[in-house]
Amino acid sequence: MNPKLRVLLVTQALGGVATHIEHIIRFSRDRFQFTLIAPPSPLAENARKLGVEVVEYNFTREVEPVADLAAAFFLWKWCRNNSYDVYHFHSSKAGAYGRIVAPLLKKTAKTLYTPHAISFLGFRGMKGTVFYMLERLLSGIGRVVAVSRSEKITLERFLPHAKVAVAWCGVVSDELSVREIIATEDGEMRLVFSGRLNYQKNPEMFMRVAIRLLGMFPTLRVYMIGAGYHDSESQALRARLSKSGLTSRVSILDWLPAEENREIMQAATVVVLTSRFESFGYVVAEAMAMKIPVVATKVDGPSDLIVPGETGFLVDVDDDDSMVEHITTLLRSPLLRSELGRNGCERIKAHFEANAGVSELSKIYLSL
According to the model, what pLDDT value does residue 177 have? 67
50, 26 in Cβ contact below 8 A? yes
In terms of C-beta density within 10 A (0-12 exposed, 13-18 middle, 19 or more buried), how is residue 2 classed?
Answer: exposed
Q: Which of 169, 182, 221 is nearest to 351 (CA)?
A: 169
Question: Distance between CA 55 and CA 78 in Å, rounded?
Answer: 10
> In this model, does residue 5 exceed pLDDT 50?
yes
Average pLDDT of span 175-198: 75
> In this model, does residue 334 exceed pLDDT 70?
yes
> In this model, does residue 326 exceed pLDDT 90?
yes
Confidence class for position 102, pLDDT limits 50, 70, 90: confident
> In this model, does residue 184 exceed pLDDT 60?
no
Confidence class for position 231, pLDDT limits 50, 70, 90: low
> In this model, does residue 185 exceed pLDDT 50?
no
Exposure class string for 285-309: b at 16+ Cβ within 10 A, else e: bbbbbbbbbbbbbbbbbbbbbbeee
Average pLDDT of span 170-190: 73
Region of poorest pLDDT, from 100-109, 158-167, 178-187, 354-363? 178-187
Residues 6+ apart with CB under 8 A from 25: 9, 34, 36, 47, 50, 52
5-170+353-367 and 173-351 in the same fold = yes
Region of poorest pLDDT, from 58-72, 116-130, 225-239? 116-130
Residue-range domain boundaries for the chain: 5-170+353-367, 173-351
Question: Distance between CA 349 and CA 289 in Å, rounded?
Answer: 7
Looking at 3.40.50.2000, 3.40.50.300, 2.40.50.90, 3.40.190.10, the CATH number of the domain 5-170+353-367 comes to 3.40.50.2000
> In this model, does residue 168 exceed pLDDT 60?
yes
According to the model, what pLDDT value does residue 17 have? 94
CATH code 1.10.3720.10 for 173-351: no
According to the model, what pLDDT value does residue 107 have? 63
Average pLDDT of span 137-145: 82
Average pLDDT of span 106-125: 77
According to the model, what pLDDT value does residue 357 have? 96
Question: Distance between CA 295 and CA 150 in Å, rounded?
Answer: 18
Q: How high does pLDDT run on average in the chain?
A: 89
Residues 6+ apart with CB under 8 A from 130: none
Region of poorest pLDDT, from 24-38, 181-195, 243-257, 284-298? 181-195
Average pLDDT of span 125-148: 79
Query: What ranges make up the beta strands (E) of the chain?
Result: 5-11, 32-38, 53-56, 86-90, 110-114, 143-146, 163-166, 189-194, 220-227, 250-254, 270-273, 294-297, 313-315
Q: Which of 324, 316, 329, 315 is nearest to 209 (CA)?
A: 324
Neighbours of 73 (CB within 10 A): 12
pLDDT tens digit string along 28-55? 999 999 999 999 999 999 999 999 999 9
According to the model, what pLDDT value does residue 120 have? 67
Q: Which of 265, 251, 260 is nearest to 223 (CA)?
A: 251
According to the model, what pLDDT value does residue 182 have? 46
Q: 112 — phi, psi (to 5°)?
A: -125, 145
Taking CA atoms, 283 is separated from 159, 296, 355, in Å, by 27, 10, 18
Question: Distance between CA 231 and CA 241 in Å, rounded?
Answer: 17
pLDDT tens digit string along 262-284? 888 999 999 999 999 999 999 99
Average pLDDT of span 301-308: 98
